[in-house]
């Protein structure tokens, strides 16, 4: 996990949680800007809401339940990157789904990929049980993740089925290839789903 951590994708651009705080990257470029708020528009047309607004909301300032999706490259990435935030969102009444791009096949030295995947998948399921989140596995292979039109269409299906208001993902210039792939596919997915919702145009190809 890079120090930049896990980010937030919004319809206004690409957001990232950095060591400086919450940053936003515009869709026109990759420059990080520190910001106090990140806006996110729900795919189901739920309107504009900022992540800090959701997190600050409590009994005094109720916010309607939101759907949150977090995409990580491997089991343990979402939990170590923003597990506390996800736990707080759940505690505030929001629904959280974690999508794991790979199943961590290369994550245990001296253990076969199949056995490592079995162990790490169960660990992810256990972690989601603690966090009260829904686990989803995209089925790519640890260390061999692919960015293609086919894998984009697959992730679009997984994310689109959740109809999220806010999406977390890796920082796009993370040093780990699987994290980069997870980030790019998530960014392209969110942009594509909004494009289809706005224009009625199929957008399941990289662009």
Residue 137 counted as domain residue: yes
Residue 143 counted as domain residue: yes
Quote the DSSP letter at residue 174.
-
Q: Domain count of the chain?
A: 1
Parallel, antiparallel or unpaired: strands 32-35 and 21-26? antiparallel
Q: Which residues of 90-116 are buried (b: 16+ CB within 10 A; e: fewer)?
A: eebebbbbbbbbbbbbbbeeeeebeeb
Residue 126 counted as domain residue: yes
Residue 98 counted as domain residue: yes
Q: For tokens 């790019």, what's the residue? A: 184
Q: Say what percent of the chain tops pLDDT 70.
A: 64
Residue 185 counted as domain residue: yes
Residue 95 counted as domain residue: yes
Residue 75 counted as domain residue: yes
Residue 93 counted as domain residue: yes
Helices (H), the chain: 51-56, 77-91, 113-131, 149-162, 177-199
Tens of pLDDT, residue by residue over 118-172, are 999 999 999 999 999 999 999 999 999 999 999 999 999 999 999 999 999 999 9
CATH assignment at residue 157: 3.40.50.10320
The mean-pLDDT minimum among 15-29, 59-73, 81-95 falls in 15-29
More confident residue, 99 or 3: 99
Q: Which domain holds residue 114?
A: 42-199
More confident residue, 72 or 204: 72
Residues forming beta bridges with residue 100, ordered by sequence position: 72, 137
Q: What pLDDT was estimated at residue 111?
A: 95
Query: Rounded to two decimals, what is the model's pTM?
Result: 0.73
């Amino acid at each position: 996990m890079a120090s930049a951590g896990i980010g937030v994708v919004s319809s206004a651009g690409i957001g990232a949680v950095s060591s400086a705080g919450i940053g936003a990257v515009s869709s026109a470029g990759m420059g990080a800007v520190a910001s106090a708020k990140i806006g996110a528009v729900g795919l189901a047309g739920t309107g504009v809401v900022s992540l800090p607004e959701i997190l600050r909301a409590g009994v005094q300032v109720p916010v309607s339940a939101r759907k949150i999706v977090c995409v990580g490259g491997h089991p343990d990435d979402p939990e170590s990157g923003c597990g506390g935030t996800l736990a707080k969102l759940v505690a505030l009444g929001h629904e959280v789904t974690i999508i794991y791009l790979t199943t961590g096949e290369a994550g245990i030295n001296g253990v076969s990929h199949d056995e490592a995947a079995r162990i790490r998948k169960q660990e992810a399921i256990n972690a989601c049980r603690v966090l009260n989140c829904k686990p989803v596995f995209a089925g790519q292979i640890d260390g061999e993740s692919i960015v293609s039109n086919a894998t984009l269409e697959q992730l679009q299906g997984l994310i689109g089925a959740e109809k999220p208001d806010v999406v977390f993902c890796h920082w796009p210039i993370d040093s780990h290839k699987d994290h980069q792939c997870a980030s790019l596919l998530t960014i392209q997915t969110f942009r594509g789903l909004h494009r289809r919702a706005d224009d009625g145009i199929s957008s399941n190809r990289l662009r």
